[in-house]
Amino acid sequence: MKNYYHILGLSFESNPEKELIDAAFKALVKIYHPDVFKGDKQSRDREITEINEAYEILNDSEKKKIYDEKLSNFHNKNFFDYSDEDFEDKDVFDKKYIDEDWEIVLLVYPELEDKKKIMSKYSLRLSLQFQFYLLETKEFFKFNIIANRFIEAFLERKFGTSTRIKLLSKILIENDFRKNAIYLNKLIKVIGIKSEQRIIKTFFKQYPDIEKFVSEEIKFHKKINLNELSQTNNQYFFAIILVVLLIFLFFAIINN
């Protein structure tokens, strides 16, 4: 069964809102413009057809509801929590493509240059979709959140829904262990994510020299996540205190 969310570079698990679906679609259409896409016309037409087909379903609330139920049932029935997609994208894009609007964006958000380079480690298509998505929505102020959404969807599409596998693949890709990530992708395609523990064990048996590095990176990521969770909890706590104080003040004014 086709996963229309994956076709648009999104994740079904995250239940993307309509605005995100619209913007992701428009960004994809732009990257298959002849100025950007350098593959053959047949490949381009095939991709555009799939993208339009996916958007037609996900853009219509009734069609989307029916499709979501079918996709959910299909996943549950077939224990389908991984994709059989190859890690390497076969589409060809112009690596030297320059968008004048993007050049202006970089004057205001110069850090986006490094973020886009990280995205391109996953795939050039992903980095271009990220770029055009931001140009479409003007949501530059939350580019980290948007980047994480696209990366999460990419990892789900290529490596499955396992949290451990996705973190491992993220570390490999962002630290330039590309051939190792390709090997992990092949293991998952052939074996299936239900054998997660054996896949990880086999992976490090094949590449024992990077196990220590990956372990340290995992600790680092967990520390960051704990800090972010702590900050979120603190913000939530202060928000509750503020609401209580406002309620108290409200009743104090009424009583006076």
- The model's pLDDT over 154-213, given as tens digits with 9 standing for 90+, comes to 998 889 888 999 999 999 999 999 999 999 999 998 888 788 999 999 999 999 999 999
Q: Flag whether the pTM goes above 0.85.
A: no
- Integer angstrom CA distances of residue 56 from 31, 153, 159, 173, 250: 19, 20, 26, 32, 49
Q: Where are the alpha helices (DSSP H) in 123-162?
A: 124-137, 143-159
What are the b/e assignments for 55-75, b being 16+ CB within 10 Å?
A: bebbeeeeebeebbeebeeeb
| Token pair for 123 | 């795939």
* pLDDT for residue 237: 62
* pLDDT for residue 56: 96
User: Rounded CA gap, 221 and 233, in Å?
Assistant: 18
Quick check: 127 and 119 in contact, CB under 8 A? yes
User: Rounded CA gap, 132 and 46, in Å?
Assistant: 21
User: Rounded CA gap, 57 and 66, in Å?
Assistant: 9
Q: Is residue 80 pLDDT above 60, yes or no?
A: no
Question: Please, which pLDDT band fits residue 256 given cuts at 50, 70 and 90?
Answer: low
What is the widest separation between alpha-carbon atoms in the chain? 77
Work out the mean pLDDT of the chain and round it to a whole number: 85
User: Rounded CA gap, 17 and 220, in Å?
Assistant: 31
- The terminus-to-terminus CA distance of the chain in angstroms comes to 66
* pLDDT for residue 225: 52
